[in-house]
Amino acid sequence: MDLGLAGRWALVCGSSRGLGWGCASALANEGVNLVMVARNAATLEQAADQVAMTAAGRGASTKVLRVAADIATPDGRAAVFAARREVDILVTNAGGPPPGDFRDWDRNTWLQALDANMLAPIELMKATVDGMAARGFGRVVNITSSAVKAPIDILGLSNGARSALTGFVAGLARTRKLAGANVTINNLLPGGFDTGRLQRVMAQAGKNYEEEAASRLQAVPAGRFGTPGEFGAVCAFLCSVHAGYLTGQNILVDGGAYPGTH
């Protein structure tokens, strides 16, 4: 299926590794030009070269700009928009907050989680969606978490910050000014994906990787973790010309782990 995206510009945050990288790669393979953002310049350069080379190998012509910046800060976002102001596609993403006990979290801990997982996506949308609407095409995909539908006790910072973003998006996506101008906004909710983050969270649990993985996979009907490539493919479809009537949704990609119907 031709996704109809060749020549568009996408800003993909947190894209040097993991799920963000999967989204950047899938879009580049469709001929989308990218602004890739991550904090570590060396890792970002390597990832961006790889994305560009793979896309070229598949015959896709794509430009890849790289911005080493912290997307959770105003300075980081200013650096991104200095590199490229207008984008047709926005994929918001940043590292998830650490697990813990809410008794140990002070105001500053909460503000960091809100900055990264609620306010940064909102600021990025604020800076881009009206331009998308004026040009008659826009796609926003926020990478959130399956914890929005099924909160996990030790991930209270993530549950709180991402639920706040989810509520905000539910309203914004349904405004006539955006939905009526072919600008869609959806949240993509990962379950268990085999990325650096998952490996770090499992290591923090202090258990043997294989044992911990086996115990987590008992709750996943697919019997395996997802791959960044699979996640990126769903993201690319949501960004495609075919998904113009799909907005304001929270889409789980979790191998069937969530047991409910909505």
Q: Which residues bind ligand NAD (CB under 6 A)?
A: 13-20, 37-40, 70-72, 93-96, 116, 143, 145-146, 190, 192-193, 195-198
Q: How far is the CB of 8 from ligand NAD (least distance, A)?
A: 22
Range 124-129 contact pairs with CB under 8 angstroms and sequence separation of 24 or more: 124/11, 124/13, 124/71, 124/77, 124/90, 124/92, 125/90, 125/92, 125/172, 125/185, 127/77, 127/81, 128/11, 128/87, 128/90, 129/90, 129/172, 129/178, 129/183, 129/185
- Least separation in angstroms between CB 93 and ligand NAD: 5
Nearest CA among 69, 79, 83 for reference residue 15: 69
Report the nearest approach of ligand NAD to the CB of residue 48 (Å). Answer: 11
Return the number of the residue (40 or 215) whose C-beta is nearest ligand NAD.
40
In the complex, minimum distance from the CB of residue 56 to ligand NAD, in angstroms, rounded to a whole number: 22
> Which CB atom, from 29 or from 146, has the smaller least distance to ligand NAD?
146
Residue with Cβ nearer ligand NAD (84 or 197): 197
**Residue closer to ligand NAD (CB basis): 52 or 179:** 52
Q: Given the complex with ligand NAD, which of 31 and 95 has the nearer CB atom? A: 95
- For residue 7, report the phi and psi dihedrals to the nearest 5 degrees: 90, -10
258 touches 198 (CB < 8 A): no
Residue recorded with tokens 């912290």: 70
Rounded least distance, CB 46 to ligand NAD, Å: 11
